[in-house]
A and B are shown apart, each in its own frame.
Chain A
Amino acid sequence: MDNKNQKASRNISSIPLKAIYRWLGDRIFLVVAFFLGLSIILLALGMALVLYQEGSLSFKEFGFFGFMRGSTWDPGVTLTFGALPFIFGTVVTSVFALAIAFFPALAIAIFLAEYAPRWIGGVIENLVNLIAAIPSVVVGIWGIFVFAPWMREKVYMPLWSWSSENAPALEPILGNPIGYGMTTATIILALMIIPFITALAKDAMRQVPKEQREAAYGLGATRWEVIRMAVIPYARGGIMAGAILALGRAIGETMAVAMLIGNKNTFPFSIFGPAATMPSVIINEFREAVGNLHLSSLMAIGFILFIISLAVNLLAAYITRKISITGGKIL
């Protein structure tokens, strides 16, 4: 028996290694992986470069910061282009959408991660994912035909007529209650990003070690106190990163916003009244952009949007590393 085993092992070790083949396979794989990895960097840089070059006509005409500061967008007569209304519209809608969505989303995540019985949690989780998967054009058409008219009848009109009777000074701030405008777009955006925040926050909370919870329970904490004391602080990195990624999504969201924001290219914007965002102006005007300067200005907006999205994603990565317990260095 022993003898046989020895024989077998001797046989295995005497099989010649296909050294050259193995060496080659290693190298080929390394080279392929290296270039694929590198290509992502090149792709991102290339896109930024192309956008910048295409927009450079506009940057030359108005100056880089002049373009960003310019508040007139007139492709018809004066051919003056400024991105400020769209930057403003994008920032306001997405930041407020995040503000509206954050706490409900966190509450849903807490419910899913901490309270829900397994089967209810599973059902809700799948529904949340389903909502995230609805194409934004479908959300947009629902917004156009159901949500916006409803908001107009039930919210904007009553408020507007109240203000016209009692506080006429408010009217320009509130704006025309046509139903399609900043508030409608912001609320729809909030609905669209809730699933993202929920999913990421839930995952972060589920990763909190059992020991942390037990330590809090052991001190005599109630369930909510355990969540507040042990779970949320531990998961804060994931929660914040999720929120910022959702903000990035809100900034880039195009279709639903373009369908609902009313598309008004010039200041003044108002709370209920129409406005525009960077993505919405691009999608609305790229077909009619006949003049070089107009097209170049749209490209320039695209470039700014690219930079802002990049910055938001970098910020998310930075925050994750800086304040998370699980992801980065323990504080």
Chain B
Amino acid sequence: MNFITNIKKNKKEPTEKTSTSAIAGGEGVHPHDVRMETKNLSVMYGKTVGVKNVSLPVYNEKVTAFIGPSGCGKTTFLRALNRMHDLTREAVVTGEVLLDGLDIYAPKVNPVTIRRKIGMVFQKPTPFPTMSIYNNVVAGLKLVGIRDRKLLDEVCEKALQQAALWNEVKDRLNTPGGSLSGGQQQRLSIARALAIEPEVLLMDEPTSSLDPLSSAKIEELIHDLKTKYAIAIVTHNMQQAARVSDYTAFFYVGNLVEFDETKKIFTNPSNEQTENYISGKFG
């Protein structure tokens, strides 16, 4: 009941703020500020519980990793952060997800504007196969009606450079996105997400379908990107979580077991379950 009243409370807050403050890009946010926060977030698929009562922050200019065994709800939780569950008929989300202090599930908030501010990279590379590399990168900008060729060119180059793909594709921007290799496709997907300059970047096991070399490139990329974005990453690879993240959340059967600085989670976890998982006793 607690979270339902929370939502109602939040309704009274003027939602216009959401749009204005968000477009401003959250100026004055400092490194250790909380960019996103969930409060008692639960996701149900019909009667099956996906995630139960999770409250945790996503810090600005930090990487937060979600780890846990398969089916523990880490992806479900991540997808709740940009309202992807709206697309699943059975899924019911309760509780609050705050972006810069405003609930993205508030009734007047349009999920489309939310997803423009919270970029997402998926497990499988998802370039639009019929579009050229160039059009793939600027697809999000074209959606909001930006047609200025010079601006698009600039953004395209910048995003591809951020995604460490520019040098490989700069001579063939007009070839279809589907013609790239798997690792390149995934970096293209990242470039596409970066081109719309999101405030938060969500990554759902971005390296799980890639070879070690491409994975390493993407991890490097995450390291570079965190100077500008708040990043949340789901991974089933604990070493990866240890390498790339600053904070780690351990999920187990839909519950948040422990959330802390990555260093602490991996060296001195306070929960026994976490310790067992980290040390490889299960999972």
Contacts and interface: CB of A to CB of B under 8 A. Distances in A.
Interface of A: 211-222, 225, 229-230, 233-234, 236, 325, 330-331
B144 interface: yes
B122 A215 contact: yes
A233 B131 contact: yes
A137 B277 CA distance: 71
B130 A325 contact: yes
A212 B129 CA distance: 9
A211 B124 contact: yes
B122 A218 contact: yes
B178 A330 contact: yes
Nearest to A210: B87
Given A211-B122, A331-B178, A331-B179, A218 B128 contact: no
Contacts of A325: 129-130, 178
A149 B168 CA distance: 66
15 contacts: A214-B122, A214-B126, A215-B192, A216-B128, A217-B87, A219-B140, A219-B143, A220-B116, A220-B140, A233-B128, A325-B129, A325-B130, A325-B178, A331-B129, A331-B178
Interface in B174-189: 176, 178-179, 189
Contacts of A222: 112
Contacts of A229: 128, 139, 143
Contacts of B265: none
Contact of A221 (B82, B112, B122, B189): B112
Contacts of B120: 214, 218
A218 B82 contact: yes
B196 A233 contact: no
B119 to A, nearest CB: 7
Given A215-B192, A219-B192, 16 more contacts: A211-B124, A214-B84, A215-B128, A217-B84, A218-B82, A220-B112, A220-B140, A220-B144, A220-B196, A221-B112, A229-B128, A229-B139, A229-B143, A233-B129, A325-B130, A325-B178
B111 to A, nearest CB: 8
B113 A220 contact: yes
Given A217-B84, A219-B193, A219-B196, A236 B128 contact: no
10 cross-chain pairs, A with B, having the tightest CB-CB distances, nearest first? A220-B116, A215-B126, A218-B120, A219-B140, A233-B130, A220-B115, A331-B176, A330-B178, A211-B126, A325-B129
A234 B126 contact: no
A217 B113 CA distance: 10
Contacts, number: 72
A175 B179 CA distance: 54
A162 B144 CA distance: 47
A211, A215, A218, A229 pick with most chain B CB within 10 angstroms? A218
B87 to A, nearest CB: 6
Contacts of B131: 233
Nearest to B120: A218
A236 B131 CA distance: 13
A233 B139 CA distance: 13
Nearest to B82: A218
Interface string B89-132: 00000000000000000000000110110011010101011110
Nearest to B79: A214
Contacts of B193: 218-219
Contact of A219 (B116, B124, B129, B176): B116
A219 B130 contact: no
A331 B193 CA distance: 22
Nearest to A329: B178
A122 B206 CA distance: 37
A217 B115 contact: yes
Interface in B149-188: 176, 178-179
A218 B139 contact: no
Contacts of B87: 213-214, 217
Contact of A212 (B84, B126, B144): B126
B119 A218 contact: yes
Contacts of B126: 211-212, 214-215
Contacts of A230: 128
Contacts of B178: 325, 330-331
Given A218-B120, A219-B193, A222-B112, A212 B128 contact: yes
Nearest to A215: B126
A216 B126 CA distance: 9
B80 to A, nearest CB: 14
B130 A221 contact: no
A220 B143 contact: yes
A219 B143 CA distance: 8
A211 B126 CA distance: 7
Given A214-B122, A220-B112, A234 B129 contact: yes
A236 B84 contact: no
A222 B120 CA distance: 15
B136 to A, nearest CB: 10
Nearest to A331: B176
Contacts of A330: 129, 178-179
Contacts of A216: 128, 139
A233 B127 CA distance: 12
B129 A225 contact: no
Contacts of B196: 219-220
A223 to B, nearest CB: 9
Interface string B244-277: 0000000000000000000000000000000000
A14 B119 CA distance: 63
B128, B140, B193 pick with most chain A CB within 10 angstroms? B128
Contacts of A215: 122, 126, 128, 189, 192
Contacts of A233: 128-131
